[in-house]
Amino acid sequence: MWKPAGPLDLGLVLGPLRRGAGDPTFRATRDGSVWRASLTPAGPGTLRVAVYGGEARGEAWGPGAEWLLERLPELLGSADDPSVFVPRHRVVAAARHRRPGLRLTRTGLVLESLIPSVLEQKVTTDEAYRAWRLLVRRFGERAPGPAGVGERPMWVMPAPRTWALIPSWEWHKAGVDDKRASTILRAVRVAARLEQAAGMAAEAAQARLEVVPGVGPWTSAETVQRSHGAADAVTVGDLHLPGIVGWALAGDRHADDEVMLRLLEPYAGQRHRAARLILLSGHTPARRAPRMTRGDIGRL
């Protein structure tokens, strides 16, 4: 159990860990609880979290149960301090006021954020979510406890060795090109070294991740935002984020990374939180260009 000092919104805190509505490792239920299936250093585990009277309570199953329960407070943002954030723009201040329960999660697990982030490189989110869903269900294992049974069981993502043994045609069937598949294969070969990065400062962890060919600043930032709760790890190299930040803070829908980083300078140390609040504000420019074309190499 953990009782935060202020409001706690499970959907906002844990939402970034969900890779689409069909994510087999994540489930939000009608009673307001959130279920996660994870591969921990102690083995697979399932965690159920719910908030009652301002207190977060967790239940867990499987070999990784104790590991998950010990880290429940950090998962829910105990290591994050939203009070240090000072809004410098009206749109940011309004978004923060409307969402007082936002905290930055810290999973302490690197690969479970790195692999789906690699899958999201240079493709639509729908394509990436589909690939994650298919690969986890095909090569993962059922989640321990009640979440792993029934008509819609949850799944734990594959272990590093299992990822390494996935045949090339299975990557192809899931719509994953050789470049992204090769990046994941290189990452799982040094899985132990990458998981050690969970105990490092966020910047040092990003540097270690980027040693893996195919992992650049975009992917490393997306990873440590989740694994470390990195408040300053702003995502660069994104197709849409610079324009959204530029529009919200300066009315510039054509802003690039350089402009975005300049606009976020007043939030140094908290740039990811600022960008997250801007995204939550809904203050985005109207879409003019068509969405990125969806491809499916699995049909070729």
pLDDT digits (tens, 9 = 90+) for 151-188: 999 999 999 999 999 999 999 999 999 999 999 999 99
By the 8 A CB rule, do 80 and 104 touch? yes
> So what's the pLDDT on residue 284?
86
Three-class DSSP category at 68: helix
Strand partners, 40: 43
Closest by CA position to 127, among listed 240, 290, 296, 299: 296
> So what's the pLDDT on residue 298?
53
The alpha-helical segments, DSSP class H, found in the chain are: 10-14, 65-70, 72-75, 90-98, 111-119, 125-139, 160-164, 168-173, 178-189, 191-196, 202-209, 217-227, 241-250, 257-263, 271-281
74 Cβ contact partners less than 8 Å away, ≥ 6 residues apart: 105, 106, 108, 229
pTM: 0.94
Mean pLDDT across 210-221: 98
Residue 271 has pLDDT above 80, yes or no: yes
Sheet with 34-40: strands ordered across: 26-28, 34-40, 43-52, 55-61
Mean pLDDT across 31-51: 97
Residue 300 has pLDDT above 50, yes or no: no
For the chain, the distance separating the N- and C-terminal CA atoms, rounded to the nearest angstrom, is 50
Residue 208 has pLDDT above 60, yes or no: yes
What residues does each domain of the chain span? 111-141+158-215
Q: What tokens does 80 get?
A: 């994050």
Q: If you search the block for the tokens 């989740």, which residue do you land on?
A: 226
Convert the pLDDT of each residue in 111-153 to its tens digit: 999 999 999 999 999 999 999 999 999 999 999 999 999 999 9
Mean pLDDT across 11-30: 97
Convert the pLDDT of each residue in 94-114 to its tens digit: 999 999 999 999 999 999 999
> So what's the pLDDT on residue 289?
52
Burial class of residue 292 in the structure, from the number of CB atoms within 10 Å of its CB (0-12 exposed, 13-18 middle, 19+ buried): middle
- High-pLDDT (> 70) share of the chain, %: 96
Closest by CA position to 77, among listed 100, 97, 93, 94: 100
Closest by CA position to 100, among listed 82, 84, 74: 82
Mean pLDDT across 215-244: 97
Convert the pLDDT of each residue in 288-298 to its tens digit: 655 555 555 55
May I ask the CATH class of domain 111-141+158-215?
mainly alpha
Q: If you search the block for the tokens 């009640």, which residue do you land on?
A: 146
How far is 10 from 36, CA to CA, in rounded Å?
12
Q: If you search the block for the tokens 């994941």, which residue do you land on?
A: 184
Q: If you search the block for the tokens 């994540």, which residue do you land on?
A: 26
By the 8 A CB rule, do 72 and 56 touch? yes
Regarding beta strands 141-142 and 155-156, do their DSSP bridges make them parallel or antiparallel, or are they unpaired?
Answer: antiparallel
Convert the pLDDT of each residue in 245-265 to its tens digit: 999 999 999 999 999 999 999
> So what's the pLDDT on residue 295?
57
User: How many Cβ atoms sit within 10 Å of the Cβ of residue 294?
Assistant: 12
> So what's the pLDDT on residue 5?
86
Average pLDDT, the chain: 95
Mean pLDDT across 204-226: 98
Q: What tokens does 21 get?
A: 């509505």
